[in-house]
Amino acid sequence: MKFGFMGVAALIVAHVAGMIDLVALPIWVGALQERYGFSLQQSGGLVTLFLLGVVLASVTVAPRFNRVNQKMVAVIGFGVAALAFFGAAQQTGFGPLAALHALAGVAAGSALSMVHGAIGRAENPHRLFAMAGIGLGLFAVVFLGAVPQVMIAMGGQALFLAFAAVMGLATVFTAAFMRAPGPAPTEADRAPFSRTVWFLIFGVSLMTFNQAMVFSFVEVIGGARGFSKDTVLAVLIALGFVNLFIPAPLAAILEKRLPAFGVVQAGPVVQAILALVVTSATIFPLWAPAAAVFVAVQIFTHTFAFGLLARLDTSGRAVAATPAMLMIGSALGPFIGGALSQNIGFGALGVAAVIVGAASTLCFARAKANA
């Protein structure tokens, strides 16, 4: 389906809003710990509540992607998420923040499922998802450069106000410009997913678990290693530039030049190696490059996985479930990462990342075998 220039812009803005955790996790966890006084496990738990809300919403609405008003669900979802984060900016207690995180997650997950389902029904889902990744990279540069500085001046509530503003912008863009792809053919909509699709879903979920488990604590790990706040912040800003200029553009350029199944099998291996460096290196020149490119591996690999899923399931349901397969890993990652870091140490994160990376690679290999 053709969406037009502004329709594509709306999908990209909405993708950025719905995927905000991919950019904000280390600042999010760090702000909850340092500025609100929560423990590592509590901080990870609050973010986990948001992500679990995304998962539950996506699991519920994705199978119904072609039977609901996709635009209305997206607009209402982003609007409620904006209000929930605005409310969170007024709270400091764990209980109210927990409830608002969960509400924001359910709302954003419902909206994001509609957005990803629409991208999957585009003429070239791989390319459009790569463009959305470029948009997320551009946002990361601005967000990671500006929000920590604003929090220094305004306090932790500035983070939630920034979240509310992003969700509000997505509400406006989807209301004004989003074009719903409409219903898919009945046969495609009712057909069960193949084994290949399921293995791809499991592989992506495991990879995002690794992503969240390690990346959530990059800022904390940097501080524990004795690196200054300014140098750690510089790494996060560099990460934003890397995400903008490398993974998504490269994935778009190499769409026809690299075998998609080969890319998705290699991705978890590279991710696990970088995780070991991030969690164990004590020398800044070694730690910084690994941290700066860590997220890029996820973005590059998932672009190819998204394109595979869109081709294998033409109904759009599999890609509509993208928030669920991404956030189930992301939901568990901060909580388990916090528990491991607090009770065993950061080295345990690296060991866990290798184990999970091996499982993810196995799932992708099984997907290829069943294709």
Q: What is the pLDDT along the chain (371 residues), one digit of tens a residue?
A: 676 788 899 999 999 999 888 788 778 888 888 888 888 778 878 888 998 899 999 999 988 888 888 999 999 999 999 999 999 999 988 999 999 999 999 999 999 999 999 898 888 889 999 999 888 888 887 887 888 889 888 888 999 999 999 999 999 999 999 887 766 556 656 677 788 989 999 999 999 889 888 887 888 888 888 888 888 888 887 887 787 788 888 988 998 889 989 999 999 999 999 999 998 888 989 999 999 999 889 889 989 998 899 888 877 788 888 888 888 877 777 778 877 877 787 788 888 999 999 999 999 999 988 76
Q: What are phi and psi of 14, to 5 degrees?
A: -65, -40
Question: Which amino acid belongs to residue 171?
Answer: T
Looking at residue 124, the DSSP 8-state letter turns out to be S
* pLDDT the model gives residue 216: 77
* pLDDT the model gives residue 311: 86
* pLDDT the model gives residue 159: 93
**Sequence-ordered alpha helix ranges (H) in the chain:** 5-18, 20-34, 40-61, 70-88, 94-120, 125-154, 157-177, 186-190, 195-215, 218-224, 229-245, 247-253, 260-280, 284-312, 317-320, 322-343, 347-370
* pLDDT the model gives residue 315: 75
Q: Which residues fall within 8 angstroms of residue 323, CB to CB, at 6 or more apart?
A: 18, 54, 55, 57, 58, 62, 109, 112, 113, 116
Q: Which residues fall within 8 angstroms of residue 296, CB to CB, at 6 or more apart?
A: 239, 242, 243, 246, 247
Domains, the chain, with CATH or none: 5-370 (1.20.1250.20)
* pLDDT the model gives residue 88: 94
Of 333, 214, 343, the closest CA to residue 281 belongs to 214
Angle 173-174-178 from CA coordinates, rounded to 5°: 110
